Each structure stands twice: as structure tokens, then as C-alpha cells.
């Protein structure tokens, strides 16, 4: 009874389910962070505790140099979980959600969310240089998919709940509800309409409220006042400085993407199994964090590394040479973690790279143009958004998330300048985003844009591009032969018996007809005897809906929608005609998700 009630089409039911998914995403973020804390404290400090502030540096481990083996031990556990239970849990999470949306009809196995949570917690807690945002997105999406499968929901409802889980996860993690909605719009949702946006907004609001109860009403970082970008008007030199910074951010974003997949290729070519390759990669990461601890005093690049970002924002870490070293080390460590088969997100590494690059750029501006009084915290904030937007392609999401973190509207203009330039430069070097490229390497391509299908509002008569040949069922093929001699495009063939239409041979089958046989035999072999009749003034959108809801694949068009005699026929329309006239691939037209909304990802 409950499952049948929730599976209905009503908007209220979908809204209730969205709130449930939001609750799950919010509590999922809480439990996930607690599990990371538990693993981290056990692995690094040898104590059982859930108290862990990622914005504070980890104390030196009593293990000393043996800390090198902690990431290796974590790698072996992660490899076991991933290879034994859920291969989808490997990697940074978001591509798997996108793949499920576009290539698996929104089906995510229920086990994936649980294994992703455990594997990512272990990977991050034992020093893997990855983030927690990607995993919580996959965890929330997995819950939304599992709930919709259990309730037997329609495909569009299932995809909406997946988007609710993903958006709710990122909103609860960052305390950025608007950013969560925009993330779903830019990267996850294949349909943008009222029926999908309202549930996503409800889910992000619910998840954010739960996150605030446990984490407090503040962003992930304590960002001080930003003096350089607190002015409502930027000077020309400042605009130029942010444009140049955008160029640098774009280059680093491209390098970040390339490094991850280059390292993945390196490890795939290494001898040995998954266990050995991942352990080898994490051994190098372990050596790196130990060497940093020994010579700089802190681990710096282990885990989410929010403490390093916080130091830059508070201007306690300003040495440009150390910042450059940390930038290179974090990029390498993240590439090693993910390339060798680890589990975790790329948001936190992107924030780290942007902050360190911003600190370096502030030092450079201070040396070249001291009159500008470049502020390291200001440029770090812009850099964080720039690397996120440049590497993920979620430009608006990056701008809004950082704006919600600073809560300073004057940050918008510098963000728009630098992030937009960073995105353009990254696309010049690497066309696909860090998410798209992972799927493209599997042969799964994700649409790059959202477009309104304006052709759906055209009249059917505008799509009648082929001639129609009427042939009596007891006649011969002479009339068709004459048409084939003088027509540039193959015609549709209508087989009639007096005043009755018996069937239609679509143009793409005409050349397959054996014209040495009778017309009646062709009617039985190649003709479609099921068709619908529409008016020439009907909208294509309505006609496509009729086609989807009927067993017919052919449309006969008349002046008024009646068919009493073959002489009324104005033309014939097939899926192939629609695809070629609208410049869309035919499979897309034939396999749309159920239901309304004429704005879809193409």
C-alpha cells in the first residue's frame, strides 16, 4: 500500500520523498565524517575518538617513521572492499553517479553507497590525499536510487531523487544549500523543470538544516574579512590581475586533470594485481606525508588537508616556495591516491590547489606591484573557486559555493572574472572536465549543455521532407521505379487497397524491397501496418508523445487528422525524419524519459 501510494505521479508524493532523501543525505554526511574521524584518530594517533577538526593540523603520530605504512594498510582494506563488493566505489564518486543517470536509467546498486562510505572513510582517514565531498554525493545518490527502486518509481522520479541525494550531500557538507542545487543542475540532472527543481531544493534545504545541527551554522572554513575584494568597484589593474590569475588557474586545472589520468594509466600498466598497485601508490603518499612532517612540522597534504587551506586563509602560511612545494605535492599525492585505485573526491584537493596557488600569486603581486596590496586570503578564495570551476566544469556552482562560504557579495565580481577565464583556459587544453574524461575513457559520453528543444514547438507539416508514393496492393512496382529514377531522396511508400491504407514502407526500407515479388508480399515483410494519423497543424511535441504511447512507429499526416481516403494524405513522418530534420541522433528521440518538461540535456 505504501509503495503504491509513493509511486503515484503526484507532486506532493515526490516532495515527501525528496525530504526523506534530504534527511538521509544530511545524516549520511554526519555519519561519514564521524567514521573518517574514527579511522583517522585510530590510524594516526592510536586512540578511539570521534573528535576531529579537519581545519586543525594533526599532531605528530607516536608511530614516527612507521606512519609511512598507515596509507598502505588503508589501501589494502580499500582494495579488498572495492574489488570484492563494489567496483563502482573506486574513484571520486561523481562520474559514477553521472554514468548511472545517463547509461543505467538511474539504477545504482544499494550496496554501492555503503561500500563507498566505508572505503572512502578508510582512504581519507589513513592519509589518502582526497576529499569527502565526492563520496557523500555518491552516498546520497545511491540512497535516492535505492529508495526509488524499492518504491517502483518512474524513471524521471528516480533520476530526480538521485539528484536530490547528490545535491543534499554537498549542501550538508559545505553548508551551501544554493550551491548544492546548482551542482545538481550543472552536473547531475538530465531534466530541468519545476517538477525536478522543487524536490531538489527541498532535499538540499533539509540536508543543510541537519548539517547545521551537527556542524554548526558556519562554512567549512573560517574565512576572515577580505580587504582587497571588499570594495564594490575594482580598479583596472585589479581586473587585469584577476584575468591573469584566471589564466594560471586554468593551466593548473588542466594539469590537475591530466595528472590524475596519466597516473591512472601508469598504474594500469604496472605488473601485479589491484592490491599491489594501490599499496604501491599509497606507499609513495606515506613517504611524502612523513617527509613533510619531518622537515616542515606538519603532514599538510594528508586527507582533506583543510588545515593547510585554513592556514593560508588566516595568513599564517605565506612562504611562496613552501606553497609551491605543497601545490605540487598535493597534486602528486591526489593523483597517486586516485590513479592507483583509491576512493575519495576531488573537491578538497581542488580547494587546496586553488588556495596554495592564490597564496603564491599574492606573493608575486606583492613583489611586482606592492601598491596593489594584494591579499593572500582574497586570492586564495578566488583560487579555490577557480580550480573547482575549471576542473569540474561547474562554473556557477564554484562561484556560488565560495560566495556562500564568504557571505560577502563583493566577492562575486573577482570570482566571475577568474573562474570564467580558468574554465575557458582549461577547455583549451583539456576539452572534458575531470568527471567527463573519466566516463569518456569508458566510451560513455555525457552531453555538454542544456538546451531547450525548440523544434518540439514546430508544426508537423514543417517536417514533411519526403515524397509519398501510393501503390495498390494488387499493383506492381512500376510507379515506384519511375520515382526512384528522378527523386533525390527516397520516398515513403503507402500500400493501399481502394480507399483503405494497409501499411507504410518507410523510406529507409525502400531499397530493401524485393521488387521482383508482389506488393502484397512486401506488405507482409517490410511494411508497418500500425500507424497513427495526425493533423498537419499539430505540434511535433504532441505527436512524439502519441508515438511514445503507441506501438506505431509511423505517422500519417492529413489536413484535419482524418483518414477516409488515401488522397487526404499530406505526408508521412518517422523517427528518422524527425531526427534528421532536428539534427538530433535518432536513439535519443526514441528513448526519452517518461513525462513532461521540454528542457532536457542533449
Q: Does the pLDDT value for residue 539 go beyond 90?
A: no
Q: Does the pLDDT value for residue 241 go beyond 50?
A: yes
Query: What integer pLDDT is reported at residue 110 of this predicted model?
Result: 86
Distance CA 164, CA 145 (A): 10
Query: What integer pLDDT is reported at residue 402 of this predicted model?
Result: 86
| Cell numbers for 583 | 539534427
Based on C-alpha coordinates, what's the Rg of the chain? 29
Mean pLDDT across 31-35: 93
Give how far Cα 506 sits from Cα of 174, 348, 518, 545, 578, Å: 55, 55, 17, 20, 13
Q: Does the pLDDT value for residue 591 go beyond 60?
A: no
Q: Does the pLDDT value for residue 597 go beyond 60?
A: no
pLDDT (tens digit, 9 = 90+) per residue, 403-441? 888 777 778 888 999 999 999 999 999 988 999 888 888
Query: What integer pLDDT is reported at residue 293 of this predicted model?
Result: 94
Query: What integer pLDDT is reported at residue 590 of this predicted model?
Result: 35
Expressed in angstroms, the distance from the first to the final Cα of the chain is 37
Q: Does the pLDDT value for residue 6 go beyond 60?
A: no
Same fold, 2-215 and 228-451: yes
| Cell numbers for 311 | 592556514
| Cell numbers for 542 | 504532441
Q: Is 127 left (phi over 0), alpha (psi -120 to 50) or beta?
A: left
Q: Does the pLDDT value for residue 522 go beyond 90?
A: no
What are the residue ranges of helices labelled H in 270-346?
274-296, 306-313, 320-339
Mean pLDDT across 522-526: 79
Q: Which DSSP letter does residue 445 get?
A: -
Distance CA 525, CA 512 (A): 10
pLDDT (tens digit, 9 = 90+) per residue, 542-584? 888 888 778 888 889 998 888 888 888 888 888 878 777 665 4
Q: Does the pLDDT value for residue 586 go beyond 60?
A: no
> Positive or negative, the Cα torsion across 555, 560, 566, 569?
negative
pLDDT (tens digit, 9 = 90+) per residue, 470-517? 888 888 887 778 777 776 678 888 888 888 888 888 888 888 887 777
Query: What integer pLDDT is reported at residue 295 of this predicted model?
Result: 93
Give how far Cα 293 sits from Cα of 286, 300, 324, Å: 11, 8, 16
Query: What integer pLDDT is reported at residue 332 of this predicted model?
Result: 97
Whole-model pTM over 0.85: no
Query: Looking at domain 454-601, what is its CATH homologous superfamily?
Result: CBS-domain (3.10.580.10)
Higher pLDDT, 128 or 191: 128
| Cell numbers for 314 | 588566516
What CATH number matches the domain at 2-215, 1.10.3080.10, 3.40.50.10470, 3.90.1300.10, 3.30.1360.120?
1.10.3080.10
Residue carrying C-alpha cell 515513403? 492
Residue carrying C-alpha cell 547531475? 188
Strands 450-452 and 599-601: antiparallel
Higher pLDDT, 1 or 345: 345
Point out the least confidently predicted range of 40-49, 340-349, 398-407, 579-588.
Answer: 579-588
- Kindly tell me the burial class for residue 171, based on how many C-beta atoms sit within 10 Å of its own C-beta (0-12, 13-18, 19 or more): buried
Distance CA 313, CA 221 (A): 8
Mean pLDDT across 118-146: 92
Average pLDDT, rounded, for the chain: 86
Domain range summary for the chain, segments of one domain joined by +: 2-215, 228-451, 454-601
3-state secondary structure of 600: strand
Point out the least confidently predicted range of 123-127, 163-167, 444-448.
Answer: 444-448
- State how far Cα 151 lies from the chain centre: 25
CATH number of 228-451: 1.10.3080.10
Q: Does the pLDDT value for residue 443 go beyond 80?
A: yes
Point out the least confidently predicted range of 46-50, 230-234, 275-279.
Answer: 230-234
Amino acid at each position: 500500500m505504501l509503495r503504491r501510494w509513493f509511486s503515484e505521479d503526484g507532486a506532493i508524493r515526490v516532495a515527501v520523498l525528496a525530504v526523506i532523501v534530504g534527511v538521509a543525505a544530511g545524516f549520511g554526511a554526519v555519519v561519514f565524517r564521524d567514521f573518517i574521524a574514527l579511522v583517522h584518530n585510530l590510524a594516526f594517533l592510536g586512540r578511539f575518538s570521534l573528535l576531529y577538526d579537519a581545519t586543525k593540523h594533526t599532531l605528530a603520530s607516536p608511530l614516527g617513521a612507521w606512519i609511512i605504512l598507515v596509507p598502505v594498510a588503508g589501501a589494502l582494506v580499500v582494495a579488498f572492499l572495492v574489488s570484492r563488493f563494489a567496483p563502482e566505489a573506486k574513484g571520486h564518486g561523481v562520474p559514477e553517479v553521472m554514468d548511472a543517470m545517463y547509461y543505467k536509467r538511474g539504477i545504482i546498486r544499494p550496496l554501492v553507497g555503503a561500500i563507498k562510505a566505508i572505503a572512502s572513510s578508510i582512504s581519507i582517514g589513513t592519509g589518502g590525499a582526497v576529499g569527502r565531498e565526492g563520496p557523500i554525493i555518491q552516498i546520497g545518490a545511491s540512497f535516492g536510487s535505492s529508495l526509488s527502486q524499492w518504491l517502483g518509481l518512474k524513471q524521471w522520479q528516480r533520476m530526480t531523487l538521485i539528484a536530490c541525494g547528490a545535491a543534499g550531500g554537498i549542501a550538508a557538507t559545505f553548508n551551501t544549500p544554493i550551491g548544492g542545487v546548482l551542482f545538481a543542475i550543472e552536473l547531475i540532472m538530465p531534466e530541468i523543470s519545476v517538477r525536478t527543481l522543487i524536490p531538489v531544493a527541498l532535499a538540499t534545504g533539509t540536508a543543510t538544516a541537519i548539517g547545521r545541527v551537527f556542524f554548526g551554522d558556519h562554512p567549512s572554513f573560517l574565512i576572515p574579512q577580505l580587504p582587497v575584494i571588499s570594495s564594490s568597484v575594482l580598479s583596472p589593474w585589479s581586473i587585469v590581475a584577476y584575468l591573469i590569475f584566471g589564466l594560471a588557474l586554468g593551466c593548473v586545472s588542466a594539469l590537475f586533470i591530466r595528472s590524475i589520468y596519466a597516473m591512472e594509466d601508469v598504474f594500469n600498466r604496472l605488473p601485479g594485481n589491484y592490491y599491489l598497485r594501490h599499496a604501491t601508490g599509497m606507499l609513495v603518499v606515506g613517504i611524502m606525508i612523513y617527509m613533510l612532517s619531518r622537515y616542515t612540522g606538519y603532514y599538510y597534504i594528508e586527507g582533506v588537508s583543510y588545515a593547510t587551506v585554513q592556514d593560508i586563509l588566516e595568513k599564517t602560511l605565506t612562504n611562496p616556495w613552501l606553497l609551491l612545494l605543497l601545490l605540487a605535492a598535493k597534486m602528486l599525492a591526489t593523483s597517486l591516491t586516485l590513479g592507483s585505485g583509491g576512493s575519495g573526491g576531488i573537491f578538497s584537493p581542488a580547494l587546496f590547489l586553488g588556495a596554495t596557488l592564490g597564496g603564491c600569486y599574492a606573493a608575486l603581486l606583492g613583489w611586482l606591484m606592492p601598491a596593489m596590496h594584494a591579499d593572500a586570503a582574497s586570492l586564495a578564495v578566488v583560487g579555490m573557486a577557480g580550480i573547482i570551476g575549471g576542473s569540474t566544469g561547474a562554473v556557477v556552482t564554484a562561484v556560488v559555493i565560495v560566495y556562500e562560504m564568504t557571505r560577502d557579495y563583493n566577492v562575486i565580481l573577482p570570482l566571475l572574472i577568474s573562474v570564467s577565464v580558468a574554465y575557458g583556459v582549461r577547455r583549451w587544453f583539456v576539452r572534458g572536465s575531470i568527471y567527463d574524461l573519466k566516463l569518456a575513457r569508458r566510451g560513455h559520453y555525457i552531453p555538454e549543455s542544456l538546451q531547450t528543444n525548440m523544434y518540439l514547438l514546430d508544426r508537423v507539416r514543417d517536417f514533411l521532407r519526403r515524397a509519398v508514393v501510393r501503390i495498390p496492393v494488387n499493383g506492381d512496382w512500376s510507379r515506384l521505379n519511375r520515382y526512384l529514377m528522378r527523386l533525390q531522396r527516397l520516398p515513403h511508400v503507402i500500400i493501399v487497397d481502394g480507399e483503405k491504407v494497409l501499411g507504410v514502407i518507410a523510406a529507409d526500407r525502400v531499397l530493401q524491397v524485393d521488387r521482383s515479388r508482389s506488393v502484397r508480399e512486401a506488405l507482409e515483410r517490410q511494411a508497418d501496418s500500425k500507424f497513427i494519423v495526425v493533423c498537419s497543424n499539430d505540434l511535433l511535441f504532441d505527436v512524439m508523445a502519441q508515438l511514445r504511447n503507441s506501438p506505431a512507429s509511423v505517422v500519417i499526416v492529413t489536413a484535419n487528422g482524418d483518414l477516409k481516403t488515401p488522397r487526404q494524405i499530406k505526408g508521412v513522418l518517422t523517427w528518422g525524419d524527425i531526427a534528421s530534420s532536428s539534427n538530433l541522433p535518432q536513439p535519443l528521440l526514441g528513448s526519452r524519459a517518461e513525462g513532461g518538461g521540454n528542457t532536457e540535456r542533449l
